[in-house]
Structure 1
């Protein structure tokens, strides 16, 4: 599946302007304690798009009630599209890097898995999110968790310094996904692995959605096809690449926009890959 001209134009929008758009959007979310990818216009936890009688938002994404209860209030902002911890298969003592860590929800869950001998680093480009995550770490007593301000295209970590890279519905927001995967590859130690939940494009986007800045910030317009993600990972040097869309994700993705049904064009997917040992 090839991109339409309008989609290629959207992807080539000014990178700095795109980052400002995303940063402003998630600064508002961090300040308001509300909003999620279910709306590009600043939805709050009271909005109908996030209501579901079968469970909380995060339960619908694959988190257990125990996961949710284990983390301090305010860390789970409902911004994801899956559960990267569930596919990361974390072990005690491992070093984990979370790209676009937000208020720290996935970092705190990963910290429980790797234990006191492990380490978790969250990187986010929004100062308000980093401040919120650090405050949550104090409430959680997360001594093996650290949060750093930075862009996922320019990660503030050393070469070969982590064992696992995770991310939850963030890479689609980047104007330079090739650089994100190259940076993840650099940060991973030989044999390290990438375990990401993100959205992928399953059909061409209508022009009004592809060119809409709000649609980009709402985790829709920035999605790439499965083939593109596979190619970007391979170009970065990864092997054992697997990108698997989740058909069931249409149930919650359809609620992300009041004017369109994004599930006609995107799905949540698990994205896994490994850095070769040599």
Structure 2
């Protein structure tokens, strides 16, 4: 923060910009209500990633009826940035997670991260998940689409909610009639940008405040693949599109 006419901010404070598209600028002038003030001591690399993936995970868990402690949720693409945040945030809420992944070598890694059940995203994994969980999930988080989205539906308890927030497979979701008639599933969607733009400031501050505290305490940690200085942004963009990337690519001053 270079200058401030708001009592909520002082020069030297750090903040993230919530309600503004784009961030590649040295200076911007914004209304104070468009900002979230970061706690002192938070890792700036982690704070740079607070706005989207952790908030998406938190909204998935709390925006459609917060699951009770001891209950279960299920998600695909569990190794994604959002998926890892879901595992961490669910642990804080006392909620168990069933996690579907594409590659078997990810299973041990996500179990170590705190996932309760981690299986491959195929028919064998579906049966393993049914056998391993103590109760049927009430929430499903779909970031893939296609057959993977259907597997999530088949794991849900009657009256549950299936939320789509991504479409990595670029395949449409097909909902069998029986799952609507006999399971009464609710099919919903989430776009975190729309929530940020429309939610009351108090709701945003509450959500981001909780997430920032978790980040400050190391209980939510978003993987960083690599960092690049600003004058090497071309190499950074190349890395973003490269193979074998594990985590986010960040630009640093």
Q: Which has the higher contact order (CA 8 A, sep 6+)?
A: 1
Structure of greater Rg: 2
TM-score normalised over the length of structure 2:
0.44
TM-score normalised over the length of structure 1:
0.41
